[in-house]
Amino acid sequence: MLLHGFPEWSSMYMPLMRRLADEGYYSVACNLRGYSPTASPEGEENYNYNLLKDDVFALASTAFGDSTPFHLIGHDHGGILGWFVAAEGGKNKLLSYASLSSPHPDAFSDGLYGELADIKQVEASQYFTMFILQDSATIEHSLWWYTLGLTAQTKYGEKFEDAAAFQKSLWW
């Protein structure tokens, strides 16, 4: 199973999924909450990591069967979600986990806070603090909408329709 990053869609994995299929592997990727009009509930509370984790296991159950363990790969924000999935119930359900670009959350936190903090990492990660502000897609003259949301579209037609739709991807 492949978890996409931000602000990307599951289609980012199409070339990899074709390669895996050529090698005889079955893979699945879906647009996570906030990236699909049919999977974008209203309200920030609907983007809690416990719910996102449950989505991953529900998809796995549908795709692979209730008792079939699977490999999990995550990229960027999907990588952080993958670490959470692995820690919260993945022990008996995952064969392996690979994060393509996100360090373990504990290591990342060490790089941001405390005696091990790296000032370059702190500076590079400051934009995250804007994501968690109220209506972050539209603050500062809609900075995030115009720079990330409006420009994030794929050759498959996936895109955020407006700032309100993009806000949902920021909530998780």
CATH number at 43 reads 3.40.50.1820
Task: Judge contact between 110 and 116, C-beta under 8 A.
Answer: yes
Residue 146 structural domain: 2-171
**What pTM was computed for the model?**
0.91
pLDDT tens digits, one per residue of 102-148: 899 999 999 999 899 999 999 998 888 888 888 999 998 999 999 99
Query: How many distinct structural domains can be found in the chain?
Result: 1
Contacts of 54 (CB under 8 A, 6+ apart): none
Residue 126 has a pLDDT of: 87
CA distance 108 to 38: 32
What is the C-alpha separation between 10 and 13, in angstroms, rounded?
A: 6
* Bigger pLDDT: 38 vs 11: 11
Predicted confidence (pLDDT) per residue in 55-70, tens digit: 999 999 999 998 899 9
Closest CA to 104 of 119, 120, 87, 121: 87
What average pLDDT does this structure show over 11-26? 96
**Position 37 confidence tier, pLDDT thresholds 50, 70, 90:** confident
Strands (E), 16-163: 70-74, 94-99
Average pLDDT in the 23-33 region?
A: 95
**What mean pLDDT comes out for the span 30-43?**
91
Long-range contacts from 8-17, C-beta under 8 angstroms, 24+ separation:
8/75, 8/76, 8/152, 8/154, 9/35, 9/154, 9/156, 9/158, 10/35, 11/154, 11/155, 11/156, 11/158, 12/75, 12/154, 14/156
pLDDT at 133: 85
Q: What is the pLDDT of residues 149-166, one digit of tens each?
A: 999 999 999 999 999 999
Question: Which residues contact residue 157 at a Cβ distance below 8 angstroms, ignoring those fewer than 6 apart?
Answer: none
Q: Give which of 155, 142, 156 is closest to 165, Cα–Cα.
A: 142
